[in-house]
């Protein structure tokens, strides 16, 4: 694949890392200094697994509950896009904990618009593959509304194309807060027959 | 993911299926009426596995021999592009066996240019995710040269952007010769910061 991948002209940084050991607490996650990435996802995170049951996001492709490969092992958002969402909503901040983030980046422009199959590489050798943009859902909206009933725009609208991406682990390793992130982009072109 | 995926305005077809039980025979594969796709790849094919050792294609990202997820479980080429390659080379045909294909499609225009993260869906529910374009390598070139010493253009040049894609299994199931292939395309856009 990778003679086809080109290094982006910027380097990102791991600004925050989060994990949640169980789903009881909903989307909210706990801060970590480091995460260990395995082929099955984040060690000790409840969204791990090589496979998962398909959900409402995939009803056009799969009957709900179909066993599929887990391409949502990590939820990745950017500091810059979270700040833009907060600004649109008229609130001081949108915290990574509220939106289910595992990795919050800094320095990757328009993170949500990274092409599918982009690779994010860490100093340990750990590599995350971007599957696709994450769609804003109503769960963060409810959490944020509890915190900020005064908001001027709803989360789902404000977060459109700013809600980050989901991805999975291509190579194992530890990732740490402050790590540089090398971004490998696939060839850029539009498919003429869409 | 999949509210983001849109159905392509054409339907493909599985024209040929091939597998090779071992690597001793090189790239050359045997015809099959059906293949069983597992999360680990094609059942009984030597390129299966959830993980593999990185190779020369990935030296910019990985030290050779690093254990990585196997995104090359299947090699997919199209009838139309194989015919174009043969025409460029001035030979009657380029056989799927010579180029290591597992699936030869018909009816998917510019197969090699399908965007990464495109999904190929089969009637059984089996789903293949396109990782990325496959680069022409010298192994098929050698096979073809033995068959057609009279060729007018080398395979590597003739096959540029026509050598198909590699992919991995998102949902298990059987695929059969003649199956319709529904193509699900990710959002089309260029990343502005490449």
Question: pLDDT tens digits, residue range B59-116?
Answer: 899 999 999 999 999 999 999 999 999 999 999 999 998 899 999 999 999 999 999 9
Assessment of whether the complete model's pTM goes beyond 0.95 = no
B124 vs A contacts (CB less than 8 Å):
none
The pLDDT, as a whole number, for residue A2 is: 47
Residue found under tokens 């199931």: B173
The pLDDT, as a whole number, for residue A125 is: 97
The Cα–Cα gap between A143 and A139 comes to 7
In sequence order, the 6+-apart residues with CB closer than 8 A to the CB of A24 are: none
Residue B174 has pLDDT above 70, yes or no: yes
The pLDDT, as a whole number, for residue B23 is: 66
Residue A137 has pLDDT above 90, yes or no: no
Residue found under tokens 């997919």: B76
Which segment of A20-29, A114-123, B78-87 scores lowest on mean pLDDT? A20-29
| DSSP 8-class letter at A187 | P
Question: pLDDT tens digits, residue range B86-100?
Answer: 999 999 999 998 899
The pLDDT, as a whole number, for residue B39 is: 97
In sequence order, the 6+-apart residues with CB closer than 8 A to the CB of A107 are: A10, A11, A12, A13, A181
Q: Is A8 within 8 Å of B193 when comparing Cβ atoms?
A: yes
Q: Is A116 within 8 Å of B121 when comparing Cβ atoms?
A: no
Half-sphere exposure of B190 (CA within 13 A, CB side): 8
Residue A11 has pLDDT above 50, yes or no: yes
Q: Which of A39, A172, A192 sits opposite B50 (nearest CB)?
A: A39
Q: Which of B9, B131, B191 sits opposite A114 (nearest CB)?
A: B191
A170 vs B contacts (CB less than 8 Å):
68-69, 71
Strand, helix or coil for residue B114: coil
Instruction: Tell me the average pLDDT across A98-123.
Output: 96
Q: Which of B8, B10, B58 sits opposite A1 (nearest CB)?
A: B58
The pLDDT, as a whole number, for residue B26 is: 60
Instruction: Tell me the average pLDDT across B14-43.
Output: 86
Instruction: Give the H or E element holding residue A74.
Output: strand A74-78
The pLDDT, as a whole number, for residue A23 is: 66
- Residue A149's pLDDT band, with cuts at 50, 70 and 90, is confident
Share of chain B above pLDDT 70, in %: 96
- Residue A10's pLDDT band, with cuts at 50, 70 and 90, is very high
**What residues of chain A, 116 to 155, have a C-beta less than 8 Å from chain B?**
116-117, 119, 121, 125, 127, 129, 131-133, 135
Q: Nearest 5 degrees, angle CA A108-CA A74-CA B73?
A: 100
Q: Is B190 within 8 Å of A190 when comparing Cβ atoms?
A: yes
The pLDDT, as a whole number, for residue B1 is: 44
The pLDDT, as a whole number, for residue A40 is: 96
**What residues of chain B, 81 to 100, have a C-beta less than 8 Å from chain A?**
none
What's the distance, CA A189 to chain centroid?
A: 23
Distances (CA, A) of A188 to A114, A144, B189: 11, 36, 9
Residue B177 has pLDDT above 80, yes or no: yes
The pLDDT, as a whole number, for residue B27 is: 56
The pLDDT, as a whole number, for residue B56 is: 83
Measured between CA atoms, the residue of chain B closest to residue A109 is B193
Contact A171, A125 (CB under 8 A): yes
What is the value of ipTM here, to two decimals?
0.91
Instruction: Tell me the average pLDDT across B1-30.
Output: 82
Smallest Cα distance from A115 to chain B, Å: 7
B11 near A CB under 8 A: no
The Cα–Cα gap between A183 and A143 comes to 31
- Pairing relation of β-strands A180-185 and A103-106? unpaired
Question: pLDDT tens digits, residue range A41-72?
Answer: 999 888 889 999 998 888 899 999 999 999 99
Which segment of A106-120, A124-138, B6-20 scores lowest on mean pLDDT? A124-138
């Amino acid at each position: 694949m990778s003679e086809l991948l080109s290094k982006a002209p910027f380097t990102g940084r791991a600004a925050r890392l989060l994990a949640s050991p169980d789903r009881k607490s909903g989307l909210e996650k706990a801060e970590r200094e480091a995460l260990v990435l395995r082929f099955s996802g984040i060690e000790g995170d409840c969204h791990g697994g090589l496979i998962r049951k398909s959900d409402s996001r995939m009803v056009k492709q799969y009957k709900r509950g179909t066993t599929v490969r887990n391409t949502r092992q990590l939820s990745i958002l950017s500091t810059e896009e979270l700040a833009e969402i907060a600004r649109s909503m008229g609130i001081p901040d949108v915290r990574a904990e509220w939106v289910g983030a595992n990795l919050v980046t800094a320095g990757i422009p328009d993170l949500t618009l990274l092409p599918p199959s982009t690779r994010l590489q860490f100093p340990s050798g750990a590599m995350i593959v971007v599957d696709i943009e994450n769609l804003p859902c109503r769960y963060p909206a409810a959490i944020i509304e509890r915190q900020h009933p005064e908001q001027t725009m709803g989360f789902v609208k404000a977060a459109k194309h700013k809600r980050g991406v989901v991805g999975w682990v291509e190579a194992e390793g530890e990732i740490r807060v402050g790590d540089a992130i090398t971004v490998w982009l696939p060839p850029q072109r539009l498919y003429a027959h869409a």
